[in-house]
A and B are shown apart, each in its own frame.
Chain A
Amino acid sequence: MSESNSATESKNSGIKKIDDQGILKGVEGLTPEKIESVIQQVITNETGARLKVYVDTCVHCGLCSKGCHYYLSLNDPKFSPAGKVKQTLAEIMQKKGKVSPEFIKQAAVIAYTQCNLCKRCAMYCPFGLDVAYVMSVMRRICHKLGVVPLYIQDTAHSHSVTMNQMWVKDDEWVDTLMWQEEEAQEAFENLRIPLDIEGADLFYSVIGPEPKFRAQLIFQAAVIMNAVGENWTMPSMPGWDNSDMCMFTGDYEMMERLKRCHFESALNLRAKRIVMGECGHAFRSVYDVGNRALGWRMPPIEIIHAIDYFNELFEQNRIKIKKKFDTPVTLHDPCNVSRGRGLHDKARNLVNATCSNFIEMVPNREHNYCCSAGGGVINCGPPFKNARVESGKEKARQLLEAKEKGAKVVIAPCHNCHGGLEDIIHHYNVGMELKFFGDIIYEILDLP
């Protein structure tokens, strides 16, 4: 390994030390010519005026800084949104793609691990410049160059082989559902997780980590669906996973394949709508990004996030509870369903329908801070964990403030947020408990 590959403290960037084989080994084979040609190809074939305008009209006013939790946590201008553009595409555009492998290495770390693609900065820049988009273009270039953090690259590979994020094989998926069904049947006789039912009202999809690590969430969902008498189904074949790390590595061809598989899985069963578990990035991939890439203005089938679905159950009085959850709760609005789909009001309705004591964290709704795990950052794995948790300092402060006001439980209706907040809560000794809406509803559900 050459000297430059073990780059230690580099004074020009906010990167301490790169300890990721996907990036270090990925740049080994790069030549300036290859870099230039890939950059040219991405810039000329795949981007246009939007990127140009975002990079050229930035007035360097720095107002986006306060939009970004990285900057707020680390208080380092290299982590401001425009600062990240400066270190990546601004330089690339200025040099017309003539950048070194060393540059790509740094740029990969910035694009994959120092931006959650949360789009909060677009609400703070007076021009609405979308730095998340610029970072996505940087990721796209890195993907094409094969310089991607190892862990997230591996999940993207899993997607390409199994159509799910966690290398869950076809048989393991059905086996897991049967296992959860059996478990649930011990408590509720004849409960079913109905597979491949044509014409069901609702196609329930989850993310890869659910069958792999959090199968009890499928169990809970099954109990809730059965309790409200839902006409629902899950597919026995690939298409059940709505998550999408390819969207985050920049492998858009693969993202298209995944989204098509998911949509067609639901539509071949002629489900009326897709209800998805409590995940944010998956929602974004299905509701906003993947559909467009495939040529749909909006998703071809109605996409309902769990918040929306649960809220509907309460609004339509379809669900009975024993009593409200009475530990004081606060609510973390996941970027992808709040800033991404305006579900924050419904989330509040739902909190009020299920919990007796609700304490807002500030800022909230569209302005809530990202958990620092989003945009695939947590999926870049252990090499970047410490840095990620450090960038969650502002989040910790916000949580502690809510705790001071009395909140003991954080409801976070997103898997990524759970992962990110768990680490933050632990690292900063926040001492709060994390829950999904599903956990709370399951707990208070009045079962016949």
Chain B
Amino acid sequence: MHDLYSFFTGPFAWLTFIVFIGGSVWRFSSLWQLAQKKDGHVFEYMDTKFALRSIAHWLVPFGSRSMKLNPAMTVVTFLFHICLFITPIFVFGHVILWKENFNISWFTLPNAVADVMTFIVIASCIFFLWRRITLPEVKYLTTPSDFVILFIVAAPFITGFWVYHQFAGSAFMTIIHIISGEVMLMAIPFTKLFHMFLFPFTRGYIGSEFGGVRMAKDW
């Protein structure tokens, strides 16, 4: 058990970071190079002002008509993304690891707050799952990989919740938690999860086209 633990917090964790960072850099730079070669217009019409204008509208809850038409999704997705992003970085258990290994540390979330946020992520994933299964327009688009990815995203939070609440077998769950977190990170560059890095560019580009050429809003 301990060997496994040290493998997954040691060499495998390094591998994870290498894959996540290296993979993301590779994916990003290959897209960038391809764009430079083939999508001249994207660079030609990209306009910082209009790109930021559009991004800003889409990062504010209910900042677009689309969000207003889908209030439940808007609330859930904002909470989900915030919690998804914030919790792993600021949860006490993770910060302590950074402290122990690299002697760096930062602000931590009160445990109760982190617990609620974890729960929000899990609940959001259930909501997403429910949408995928019941809403026809989402169901139609859903591929098996969407379920897998959703599971990959939910797993670290479910297992983290499990470990924190000391449910049965939490020692074993700790390892699963670590593995699932690592799997999620490694999946980012190679799946649609990469949207987190591409969002500023896709939104920024359409925002530039709308703002600079079409002289219209895109929200």
Interface residues of A in 338-353 (CB under 8 A from B): 338-342, 344
Interface residues on chain B, size class: 35 or more
Measured CA separation A77–B26 after assembly (Å): 35
Give every chain A residue within 8 A of B103 (Cβ-Cβ).
none
Flag if B65 contacts A48 (CB, 8 Å). Answer: no
A86-B140 CB under 8 A given contacts A50-B39, A53-B202, A127-B203: yes
**Neighbouring B residues of A46 by C-beta, 8 Å:** 38
Which of B34, B136, B137 is within 8 Å of A52, CB to CB? B34
User: For residue A61, which residues in chain B have a CB less than 8 angstroms away from its CB?
Assistant: 73, 131, 138, 141
21 A-B pairs in the complex with CB atoms less than 8 angstroms apart: A47-B39, A49-B39, A50-B39, A57-B192, A57-B195, A57-B198, A58-B141, A59-B192, A59-B195, A60-B142, A62-B137, A63-B66, A77-B139, A77-B141, A82-B141, A122-B218, A126-B199, A288-B214, A339-B214, A339-B216, A340-B214
Q: A52-B34, A86-B140, A339-B216 are in contact. List 7 more A-B contacts (CB 8 A).
A: A48-B37, A49-B39, A50-B35, A53-B198, A61-B131, A66-B70, A122-B210
B202-219 interface (Cβ within 8 A of A): 202-203, 205-207, 210, 213-219
Cα A65 to Cα B140 in complex, Å, equals 11
Q: How far is the CA of A342 from the CA of B44 in the complex (A)?
A: 20
Q: Is A433 an interface residue (CB 8 A)?
A: no
Of A53, A63, A340, which one neighbours B73 at CB under 8 angstroms? A63
Majority SS at the chain B contact face: helix
Q: A150: CB under 8 A from chain B?
A: no
* B171-188 vs A, Cβ < 8 Å mask (1 yes, 0 no): 000000000000000000
Do residues B216 and A366 form an inter-chain contact, with CB atoms below 8 A?
yes
Contact A123 B38 (CB under 8 A): no
Quick check: is B126 within 8 A (CB to CB) of the other chain?
A: no
Instruction: Chain A residues near B217: list those with CB within 8 A.
Output: 123, 366
Question: Which residues of A (114-150) have their CB < 8 Å from a CB of B?
Answer: 122-130
What A residues does B148 contact at CB under 8 A? none
With A49-B31, A60-B146 as contacts: A124 and B65 at CB distance below 8 Å: yes
B12 within 8 A of A: no
Chain B residues whose C-beta falls within 8 Å of the C-beta of A340 in the assembled complex:
214, 216
Of B65, B66, B192, which contacts A58 at CB under 8 A? B192
B218-A60 in contact (CB<8A): no
Contacts of B146 in A (CB 8 A): 60
A323 at the interface (CB under 8 A from B): no
A67 adjacent to B195 (CB under 8 Å): no
Query: Closest CB-CB distance, B36 to chain A, in whole Å?
Result: 9
